[in-house]
Chain A
Amino acid sequence: MIRARGLEKRYGSRRVLRGLDVDLSTDGFLLVTGPNGSGKTTLLRLLSGLAAPTRGTLEVEAERGHIGVVAHDPLVYRELTALENLDLFGRLYRVPERRERIGMLLERFGLWDARAERVATYSRGMTQRLALCRALLHEPSLLVLDEPFTGLDDEGAQLLDRELAGLVGNRAIVMTTHDPERVVAFATNRLALA
């Protein structure tokens, strides 16, 4: 799924990543760890296609519409409801049987009751859950998750655990987290950034 050699990313004179090699199979789980500022987020931006490497080669077998991303920001519109947000992205991603899929995801992540309320009224945890729904909406073959457990309460974290358990082995997953113990059992590859 992913094959990268000598990956380097520079912003002007500031070098964020240098000489990185990454390998991931289509059903693998890559766990990326490292202290703050080590470039984890930048690496994930490169893998999800939001940024291009300054040097090196990067091959990602998933196209733009087949990648699901959970980033530091929730990537949802504050003024729209959960339903409207997912409907928007569902249309843009050309999700088949959009309504059913949205309903199912909202239910799975415990947001069904709040589906018609604006995201601005949500708690941090609820917004994060919506972000997860957004990432999974189009059944991506590659999931790029940047600290997905951030902001989730116990219940939300358990929902995510369950979701991950179901996804692992069916698709490629790249994840960064401050709590690696939680998911270390899933990991087929590990990458530690300095």
Chain B
Amino acid sequence: MYWLAIKTLFHEKGRLVITLIGIVFSTVLSITQIAMYLGMMGNATSILRHIDADIWVAAKNIQNFDFANPFPEERINRVNAIPEVLWSDRLILTWGFLKLANGGQEQVQIIGFNPDTGIDVPWNILAGNPKDLKSGRYMFIDKTSEQRVGRLELNSIWELNDKRFKLIGLSEGIKSFTTSPIVFMSYNQAQSFMTMTGWKSNHASFLVARLKDKSRSRDVAELLKTYLKDNDVFTKEDIIYKTVMYWTVQTGMGMGFFLTAILGLIVGGAIVGQTVYANTMEHLREFGTLKALGAKNSDIYKVIFAQTGISAVAGYIAGSVLILLARDGIEKAGVSLYLSAGLFLALFLVILLTCLLSAYFSVRKVRTLDPVMVFRM
């Protein structure tokens, strides 16, 4: 019966093209929406994921990683008092304005850290050595910021909130959720910088700690909560989750992406369902003949599902290839796409299932088809 499915499917090329267009549309829309969402969530959590810390201490009731509030850095002593802690350090996240060559300015996210500890940022380094950041007013910036701030040349001098910084290194592909360029500098520079915006000089945005045994992170976090009642204490997973949920649920942004992806699936499924159903209706006489000649319902279901499945696979492959071809262009426009084998596989299963479900009405029609009809027409 698969043989018949293939012969019939490719005999009616016009109908096949319409079906494929529906599936390609569905694939492109669904994958790009989900890949954009995952890309943005990847950006929102990239620093959290990359810093090899098991515990994160933040100001009380922070909404997400990007909206950090300062708190006294001396509280790091309480973290260090926990025997399970291998090392700990302070981190600053603040915002500033980078003056541009054309006289304008661009808001940037500033990450201040101690290059001598295990806070291994930035990563994907194109040029420079992060350890040199501690030597003065030096900064790293991400190459992808060029679209926003102009050409980035090593050893060029940039003005950041009226302070002059030398660009000594470039990273590649480190983006923030807000799309603001990320500037890395030493903890001390970031802290002195922070005082310009009214903060006290001995404040930090986060304390991070690496444990001797990662599996104890939940217990240590609970213990630290009893010591640091004026702070929130998270495991790495918890703060990532909180950040993702903030952007996804509290801002409604995630729901927007989700609804568009679902819309893509529904529209694609409707097109496939409609063409498969129209195809079934057009071939009722043939299906009736098949039944009269001794085919079982299951034989005819195989034909319908095989045609739908083949269309789904072909349409999905075509849609995926289109996305991969367009990927560079989309990312150059500043949109982050998270595309992985897992995502392609998961979406394939969803789209295949959608297509097969859309064939349900055709199957129902065939199930009730009376083979006597072949004598009546």
Q: Do A and B come from one complex?
A: no
* Chain A contact residues, CB within 8 Å of chain B: none
